[in-house]
Structure 1
Amino acid sequence: MNSMIYDPNSPLELYDLSADSKEECNIAGQHVEVATELDALIKGARTVSPVEKFNFPLNPWRDKSAMAHE
């Protein structure tokens, strides 16, 4: 991945950073249970704030750009 942009449609990625600091070898296929559990944690961590101004889109840069072209 090597980026901080979240794309819910991208495949799961999992890296052993102690052995692969450049994130070149995706080991999600070898550790499906761990990758799936991590994906569920990430997706479940997003909550709605009772303060409306703190309910940001998942990717505000992409969403602003998309809205500007509508």
Structure 2
Amino acid sequence: MNLPKYMEFRTEPEVIKPGQEADIVISVDASKLVGKPEKFHAPLILDGVTGRPSDRTLSIEINLIDK
């Protein structure tokens, strides 16, 4: 998987057996988003899943907020 430097990806559980379900967890490190707009879209294509790329693509919408 070709992730941007500001994004981390994992599943819970880490190993997914055939027929098993898992949660997808995507973490974003806002400190690495220098120069990015406050709101942007980041497509993420999953590897290891059968199907066309359009069927394996997660559409990640990122909205930066001040805390």
Q: When the two structures are superposed, what TM-score results if normalisation uses the length of structure 2?
A: 0.23
The structure whose residues are more often helix, as a share, is 1
The structure that has the greater radius of gyration is 1
Higher relative contact order, structure no. (Cα contacts within 8 Å, ≥ 6 residues apart): 2
The structure whose residues are more often strand, as a share, is 2
Q: When the two structures are superposed, what TM-score results if normalisation uses the length of structure 1?
A: 0.22
